[in-house]
Amino acid sequence: MNALPPRPILEVDDLSRHFVTKDFFGREQHRVRAVDNVSFTVAAGETLGLVGESGSGKSTTGRLVLRLDDPTAGQIRFEGQEITGLRKQSLRAMRTRMQVVFQDPFSSLNPRMRVGDAVGEPLRAHRLTKSRAEERDRVAELFQRVGLDPRFAERFPHQFSGGQRQRIGIARAIAVRPQLIVADEPITALDVSIQAQIVNLFMDLQEEMGVAYLFIAHDLAMVRHLCHRVAVMLRGRIVEMAPTEQLFADARHPYTQALISAMPIPDPDRELLRQRIFFDGKLPPPDAALEQVTPGHWVLAA
Amino acid sequence: MAPLLDVKDLTVRFDTPNGTVHAVSGVSYSLQAGETLAVVGESGSGKSVHVLAMVGLIPKPPGRVAAGQALFEGRDLLAMPEHELRRLRGGQIGMIFQDPMSSLNPVLTVGFQIMESLRTHLGLSKAAAKKRAIELLDLVGIPEPQRRIEQYPHQFSGGMRQRAMISIGIACNPKLLIADEPTTALDVTIQAQILDLVRGLRKQLGMAIIWITHDMGVVAGLADNVQVMYGGRIQERGPARAVFHDTRSAYTYGLLKSLPEHGAPGAVQDGTRKRLVQIPGYPPDMTNPPPGDPFAPRNPFATERCQAEVPPLVQAEGAAPGHMVAAWYDLRAARGAQA
């Protein structure tokens, strides 16, 4: 069964973000291609996993999509609208449709603001509630929705554990009923016993609200569990992209193969038999392009 | 055979303005020469703190060792004067940590830091130390070691820095290597390389290892024995295969079950949207720990006795020798009844 809705809500075309250092005379000295010619789409209600190691450009890609950073080149269309050139006012409207969940919810919460006010803030900012009473009701509903006691709304961020804070971050993100949530390593900092809770919550919310996720992570096991499709990044490029099971069953790019084979197996017997595939570290040639090997399965030609 | 390390009733407290944190309570175990013990747990479980307390590396105050002994080759580390302990650390007891940047000195070359350890602990001459430092960097798989020893930590990549730290950790042929989440911050392919390296070194040097981690995958690939901690206490301990396949603690069981099944198709893509098994609730507040089994408030199998009374760590019934569990409930019976 494969129930992918057809129309993408996010379309990213040839997106690049280069960081250039210049010498005293303004001449280019060094160019880091943090994101280089990246293209992908996310359909409504779909989860696209973006995986790769540190420095692969996956987080930078997320920041570009959120318009927290400006691309060097390329286009991003969200719900059919080009958003790369948007100014502040039009971006504001977009932010009710696209939200973010960060790795460390603590750093994104104001320590002096009651968490109920923090969750209600986007509602006020976008004038989605008409009165304080309505906002309070809506916040209570959101707390319940993410599995927190609504009475906790009166507390401050430091009074919560990491898992609870991530729930607050998620409540804040879904307050405006977004169509897309960019989740940047949302479970990495959580205790193992809490990760499953948050992953389940992400899945439940998608089922109820039809929200799409751009799920940026490096834990391949969770990505496999949660994502419809996966894109693998290496040094700013997407080297392979496929429906999740296609990728795990038939990885074509040597880097993807190495990444999958490096996943430790939580079982001593099977771990003993695990065969590793080594990646020679060879970067894709600059002019390489993604080629479709089977429907929906793209590999960067070597 | 007398164990290399014999920990008896180790209890560690932190006195903070918000109350006393019961970080470690009555932890006892022994470690044989050459054994690899994985200590598993999450933040607040006491997995790191109990080891750091043994080697005198918790800040005092607020920390204090409230009770217990840690006999290393028969000598109590907890009663040892600081200068003797310092001689052991980096000598007979090597250490590697999660963040090499915080344990390597940024203004000294990597070579100098390895040589310093060799010269203080083994009394090597400058020339001999340099020769040995190059050998060590080569041993941990750093290419061009002659050139690399002249470089500073910032000139190393994350994986290379971790290798450099391992080379310092093993420089004096320690009998015990303490590794506190050394691969947690690394990318998965680099982690795999580091684990290969450690498995090789272990064979070559015959050292015992205490490997602190929260990653059950890493445990499976490395440990002879596993010790699972929660709320400052040992919940389960035993040979790795026994702990994985004949799990007796509800906490261990929850940890293993909450991971996506390895190799199984993803729940979203196969359309089942099967939820992960989740441990309900949140870790306990250790300034005010539960009166009984610390995991009882989150344990669906807990009995009334679990809530009230701390269970002792004892040999599990019908389990492999040395497979111990601290539980008033019988996990096998409870799971059978549930199914």
Q: Which of A207, A218, A265 sits opposite B187 (nearest CB)?
A: A218
A283 touches chain B (CB under 8 A): no
Note whether A241 and B281 are within 8 A (CB).
Answer: no
Q: Does B15 touch chain A (CB under 8 A)?
A: no
Domains and CATH numbers, chain A: 8-97+178-300 (3.40.50.300)
Q: Does A250 touch chain B (CB under 8 A)?
A: no
**B266·A227 Cβ contact <8 A:** yes
Separation between Cα atoms, residue A140 and residue A120, nearest integer Å: 10
CB-based contact A7:A44 (threshold 8 Å): yes
For chain B, count helices (H), then strands (E).
13, 12
Beta bridge partners of B75: B72
Would you tell me how many other CB atoms lie within 10 Å of the CB of residue B334?
18
Would you tell me which residues 133-192 of chain A have a C-beta closer than 8 angstroms to some C-beta of chain B?
161-164, 191-192
A vs B, Cβ pairs < 8 A, gives 143
Token reading at A222: 């969770």
Closest-CA distance, A252 to chain B, in angstroms, reads 17
Q: Tell me what ipTM this predicted complex has.
A: 0.84
CA distance B184 to B191: 8
Q: Tell whether B240 is within 8 A of chain A (Cβ).
A: yes
Distance of CA B244 to the CA centre of its chain: 17
Q: From the DSSP assignment, how many helices (H) and strands (E) are in chain A? A: 10, 12
Dihedral (C-alpha) A145, A148, A152, A153: value to the nearest 10 degrees?
A: -20
Contact B210, B179 (CB under 8 A): yes
Query: Across residues B269-286, what is the average pLDDT?
Result: 86
Q: In chain A, positions 73-102, which contact chain B (CB-CB < 8 Å)?
A: none
Q: Which residues of B touch A1 (CB under 8 A)?
A: 270-271
Per-residue pLDDT of A249-266, as tens digits, reads: 999 999 999 999 999 999
Please name which of B96, B311, B323 lies closest in space to residue B227, comparing C-alpha atoms: B323
Amino acid identity, position A153: A
Sheet containing B208-213, strands listed edge to edge, beginning at the edge strand earlier in sequence: B93-96, B176-180, B208-213, B36-40, B225-230, B233-239, B324-325, B314-315
Cβ neighbours of B256 in A, within 8 Å: 266
Residue A251, C-beta contacts closer than 8 angstroms, at least 6 positions apart:
A240, A257, A260
CB-CB neighbours of A253 under 10 Å: 22
Mutate to test the interface with A, among B42, B256, B268, B323 (most CBs of A within 10 A): B268
Residues across chain B: 339
A162-174 and A115-125 helices cross at what angle (nearest 10)?
Answer: 20
End-to-end CA distance of chain A: 32
A32, A198 contact by CB (below 8 A): no
Is any Cβ of chain B less than 8 angstroms from the Cβ of A211? no
Those residues whose C-beta lies under 8 Å from the C-beta of residue B119, and which sit 6 or more positions away, are B125, B126, B129
User: Tens of pLDDT along A147-193?
Assistant: 999 999 999 998 888 888 999 999 999 999 999 999 999 998 888 88
Decide the pairing of beta strands B93-96 and A28-43. Answer: unpaired
pLDDT over 70 percentage in chain A: 98
Q: Which residues lie below 8 Å from residue A198, measured CB to CB, with a gap of 6+?
A: A163, A166, A167, A170, A186, A187, A190
Q: How confident is the model at residue A18 (pLDDT cuts 50, 70, 90)?
A: very high
Which residues of A, range 5-64, sit inside 8 Å of B by Cβ? 47, 53-54
Encoded tokens for B336? 């059978």
Q: How far is A110 from chain B (nearest CA, A)?
A: 22
**Mutating which of A4, A152, A191, A278 best tests the B interface, going by the most B Cβ atoms within 10 A?**
A191
Pair B225, B38: CB distance under 8 Å: yes
Instruction: Report chain A's C-alpha Rg in angstroms.
Output: 20
Q: Is B300 on the interface with A (CB under 8 A)?
A: no
Instruction: Please report residues of A whose CB lies closer than 8 A to that of B217.
Output: 263-266, 271
A 10 A CB-CB count for B49 gives: 23
- Is the CA virtual torsion B233, B239, B243, B248 positive or negative? negative
Q: Name the residue type at position A162.
A: G
Contact B94, B172 (CB under 8 A): yes
Q: Per the structure block, which two tokens stand in for B54?
A: 């043994």
**Cβ contacts (< 8 Å) between B241 and chain A: which residues?**
268-269
User: What angle do the packed helices A162-174 and A132-145 form, to 10 degrees?
Assistant: 130
CB contact (8 A) between residue A192 and residue B240: no
Angle of helix B188-205 versus helix B158-169 axis, rounded to 10: 20
The two structure tokens encoding residue A286: 């600059």
Hey, which CATH number is domain B33-60+81-229, 3.30.530.20, 3.40.50.300, 3.40.50.1820, 1.10.10.60? 3.40.50.300
Q: What is the pLDDT of residue A4?
A: 53
Interface contact A256, partner B, CB < 8 A:
no
- Give, in order, the Cα–Cα distances in Å from A164 to each of A115, A169, A194: 11, 9, 9
Q: φ, ψ for residue A272 (rounded to 5)?
A: -65, -30
pLDDT at B216 over 70: yes
* Distance of residue A130 Cα from the nearest chain B Cα, in angstroms: 34
> B158-169 and B110-122 are packed helices; what angle lies between their axes, rounded to 10 degrees?
10
Min Cα–Cα distance to chain A from B303, Å: 21
Query: Does the distance separating the beta carbons of A225 and B267 come in below 8 Å?
Result: yes
How far B268 CA sits from the closest chain A CA (Å)? 5
Per-residue pLDDT of B172-199, as tens digits, reads 889 999 999 888 877 888 888 889 889 9
Residue B157 sits at the chain A interface (C-beta within 8 Å): no
Torsional sign, CA B268, B274, B277, B283: positive
Q: Do A201 and A170 meet the contact criterion of CB atoms below 8 Å apart?
A: yes
N residues, chain A: 302
What six digits make up the tokens of B254?
A: 């929850």
pLDDT of A212 over the 60 cut = yes
In whole angstroms, what is the distance from residue A204 CA to residue A202 CA? 6
Report d(CA B203, CA B218) in Å as an integer.
18
Tell me if chain B has a CB within 8 Å of the CB of A208: no
Contact B217 A264 (CB under 8 A): yes
Residue A292 to residue A301: CA distance in whole angstroms: 10
**Mean pLDDT estimate for chain A:** 91
- For chain B, give the mean pLDDT: 92
- B98, B212, B269, B299: which to substitute to probe chain A, counting the most A Cβ within 10 Å? B269
Give the number of other CB atoms < 10 A from CB of residue A257: 17
Question: For residue range B88-146, what is the model confidence (pLDDT) as tens digits?
Answer: 998 899 999 887 777 888 999 999 999 998 998 999 999 999 999 999 998 888 889 99
Among the residue ranges A190-194, B65-69, B83-87, the one predicted with the least confidence is A190-194
Instruction: Look at phi and psi of residue B81 and say left if phi exceeds 0, alpha if psi is from -120 to 50, else beta.
Output: beta
Chain A residues within an 8 Å CB radius of B278: 193, 196-197, 200
Rounded CA-CA distance A190/A162 in Å is 6
Residue of B nearest to A226 (CA): B268
User: For helices B331-338 and B250-257, what crossing angle results, to 10°?
Assistant: 50
Q: Is B62 on the interface with A (CB under 8 A)?
A: no
Write the DSSP symbol of residue B287: T
Nearest CA in chain A to B188: A262
Segments of chain B assigned to CATH 3.40.50.300: 33-60+81-229
Chain A contact present for B221, CB below 8 A: yes
Note the pLDDT of residue A1. Answer: 47
Q: Which residue of A has its CA nearest to B40?
A: A192
